[in-house]
Amino acid sequence: MPHVYLDYAGFSPVDPRVVAVMRPFLEGGVGNPSASHSLGQEARASLDGARTKVARLIGGAPEGVIFTASATEANNLAVKGLTQRAPGRHVVTSAIEHISVLNPCRDLEKRGYTVTYVPVDGEGRVDPEAVARALSPDTAFVAIMAANGEIGTLQSIREVGRLAHARGVPFHVDAVGAAGRVALSVDDCYVDLLTLSSNDLYGPPGAGALWARPGLRLAPLILGGGQESGYRSGTENLPAIVGMGMAAEFARVEGPAERARLGPLRDRLLAGLLERVPGARVTGARGAGRLPHHASVVVSGVKADSVLLELDARGIAASSGSACNTLTGEPSHVLRAIGCDREASEGSLCFTLGRWTTAGEIDQALEALPAVVARLRRLAP
């Protein structure tokens, strides 16, 4: 097991306090939330309590929370659920959305929809006015993420939401990675749908949620017994959902202090990387325009896979970007969108900090990486 874990965006360790809350739901004595007996009623109360906690994190109505098995499912429900109910045949999104938004949009194109992929600048920022110019009377919805998980850039979702709202177009935000780490209110940002991931909140994997503004009509992806107000049939994963609710509550209460602690550690890591690794440059925005726990760079003259293997051998876990892109084997669409050529993309490194990251661990990474890069460059043909 690595001694220094800097891949919180890939998988966040589950908070032990969350595990303690989940344990009774895994050990028995808990009913089905749809059952009418007392155990079922207790389970229903626990489910509703988790719904309230998740909604409280984003300032939304609890009845808008639809629990899913993952953020990927929630994004699919938003994209496909809206287009099956909305009359428009046009979608506006950005070139750097997560593939669980982009791939459903590409599927829509195969079925006759038109999708506008709004470009980004060199730091990965979407221009809200470009989104507004892309809107048409036929636009079914707009989907812009709150922050990019690969380069850490925060988006101006409040301005995008305001412009979409003024035109009466539903606005979806993928808030994975941002919720709990930056201030986020669905009402202040004119958000109609918002995606959350349990594990990115230090909750268990296997749970996610889509918040949909009450009154907005979606078509369900999964049909069956009508759970989750008919939007997500199947017996609810109560242990994971309760864990997600507790994780959301901790994120809401402790988020400001965690942001204040991690921001300086992130800046220390980025500054050290630029100072100690020749040919390294930051990808994404700087300072307040970036997720407080996120540091990403491209390093010339090395392959990221080799760097990560050597870091792992030294007890340091990091990544080269989105874990989902790693699984598909596709080159990074995000790095292409911000102007990185293939050679630069091959040296992409991503370090994400979290609840248990210490200053000493940052120093360990800064000591190890320059030596690893220098060695690999010497070995390169």
Positions annotated as catalytic residues are 324
Which strands form 208-212's sheet, in the order they lie side by side?
Answer: 65-68, 208-212, 193-197, 171-174, 139-143, 90-94, 114-118
CA atoms of 33 and 41, how far apart (whole Å): 6
297: tokens are 């760079």
CB count in 10 Å sphere of residue 165 = 16
CB count in 10 Å sphere of residue 233 = 14
CA atoms of 155 and 143, how far apart (whole Å): 12
- Kindly tell me the burial class for residue 218, based on how many C-beta atoms sit within 10 Å of its own C-beta (0-12, 13-18, 19 or more): buried
- Kindly tell me the burial class for residue 380, based on how many C-beta atoms sit within 10 Å of its own C-beta (0-12, 13-18, 19 or more): exposed
30: tokens are 């808990």
The amino acid occupying position 343 is E
Backbone angles phi, psi at 103, to 5 degrees: -65, -40
- Nearest 10 degrees: Cα torsion 22, 24, 26, 28: -160
Cβ–Cβ under 8 Å, residues 297 and 355: no
User: Could you write out the DSSP letters of every residue in 30-54?
Assistant: ---TT--SHHHHHHHHHHHHHHHHH
Taking CB atoms within 8 Å and a gap of at least 24, the contacts of 298-301 are 298/335, 298/340, 298/344, 298/345, 298/347, 298/348, 298/349, 299/347, 299/349, 299/373, 300/343, 300/344, 300/347, 301/347, 301/373, 301/376, 301/377, 301/380
The amino acid occupying position 376 is L
CA atoms of 3 and 12, how far apart (whole Å): 15
Cβ–Cβ under 8 Å, residues 236 and 48: no
